Structure 1
Amino acid sequence: MKWDGITEFVYVAEYESFTRAAKEMAISTAQVSRQVSALEKRLNIKLLYRTTRNVSLTEEGRVYYQHCRSVLDSLDAAEQAVSNLSLKPQGMIRLTAPVTYGEQQLLPLVNDFMVQYGDIEVSAFLSNQNIDLIEGGFDLAIRIGKLSDSTMMAKKLSHRTNFVCASPSYIDQYGMPYSLTELSKHNCLLGTLDYWHFKELGKDRNVRVVGKIRYNSGYSLVDAALKGLGVVQLPDYYVNKHLESGELITLLDNYREPEEGIWAVYPHNRHLSPKIRLLVDYLAKRLL
């Protein structure tokens, strides 16, 4: 009796829908609803808020969900431990990642991974949008920065640092900014945002910047900076080699943000199969 309704409740909590939970479990919506209602009655606790448009967890439901999810994950891991020990990793992995990071850092490692594991197939979709993994049918996403979706599991793979920099020729001509307010006197090379991120006196600060160039291409912005056209803020994987060579100089180091995490993210309900766990562990060892 203690197990009745738990799986149904977890699926409803994760999909925020009785209908979608029923579809994933291949049972009727009415059966899911009955099981969850019976669970709430047995516990004498309201676990879910229900409206005609959506379903959400109560505070008690949120606590209960975390414990139930952990229990189901442990059961799944136990089953995999005994059933998959002798199986060779195989099958499709569908993943998504940011465009430039995916092209430059991630997919070359995925290619190396596939050299070792020839029975695995990979389909990668690169996008700078935060794609819904469940809607898109993805097993895995690579995300950069702060994670906001608490319904996802995450493993840290690496980190990145944003640098503000300019070429020596630009600094010689226009001088070096020493404070955030001085950025308004400089031609800032813009990407998709109108502001840059900094840390000032221990607090996050977004500074609005202006300039004569706006590109949605990091490498084009690097090229503009190398040619002395302005000041740019970009992640380390765009500018590291130019900083090492002296072609670019870092600016406003005292205001630099702490490094951001780079994460492998996957839905709670998509338990890590051996092939996905293998890929995540492979990436973690090579990206850190």
Structure 2
Amino acid sequence: MNNKQISILGCGWLGLPLAEFLIDKGYTVKGSTTSQTKEKTLKERNIIPFVFKLGESYDKTLMNDFFSDSEVIIINFPPKRIPNIFNVYQEQIKEVLPYIKPEQKVIFVSSTSVYQNTNDWVIETIENKPEKESGKAVLAVEQLLQAHLKNNLTILRLAGLIGYDRVPGRFLAKKKEVSNGKAPINVIHQDDCIGLIYAIISENAWGTVINGCADEHPLRETFYTLAAEKEGLIPPEFKASDSIEFKKISNTKSKTLLKYNYKYPDPLILVS
């Protein structure tokens, strides 16, 4: 097995720059995409391209080639927002499992949507009670992977993704009667997502669950108002009086276990 080779299942918003980062670090990277047109993009960036779509017919030899001989496999695609999201996402992951060998390490890029609102801090060991179907689907896949891969799996639960073409000023611009204005937000910049994944590999931090989130949690109203104004957009209008529901994602474990220092610890820096 090539310990300088990594397979990234899903070369989208995060997977593509992650692949480029790892190549710069000396890794050979295989990357998957569901789009034939994106194959050229991967080649141009020195990523070995594989085109297939889980849930549809594909060449099993191609799939085997994608996963084989890589020390680390990064599963990095979110569930589609469809009515039967809970079952479909699990079936997609089940298609992957037969190709992963016992000696291979796996990072599953998960989401903090697996956590319920507690109106308090949330750490990795809390009992998960997701409130949305997407969160329930992600948690089910986490459990599926844990049962199959055990100590070779690390789950990275990322907060709301921002950075580069994900401009938060556009998210709520012009909207009225927006709720939860006084709730703290949980976000993470793309650069820190990549940094955490690389730290997991570098520190051999396997068999665990880690949150990824900025240090600071500004109020939703403050953050999205400043973000809209920075882009020259009409800021959202928040409800004057509103009961709030929130969770504050703790990133303490990511900083201690991985020895990681966040590049963007305060999201307000990005919108001020």
Shorter-chain TM range is under 0.3
Name whichever structure is richer in strand by fraction: 1
Name whichever structure is richer in helix by fraction: 1
Structure-1-length-normalised TM-score: 0.26
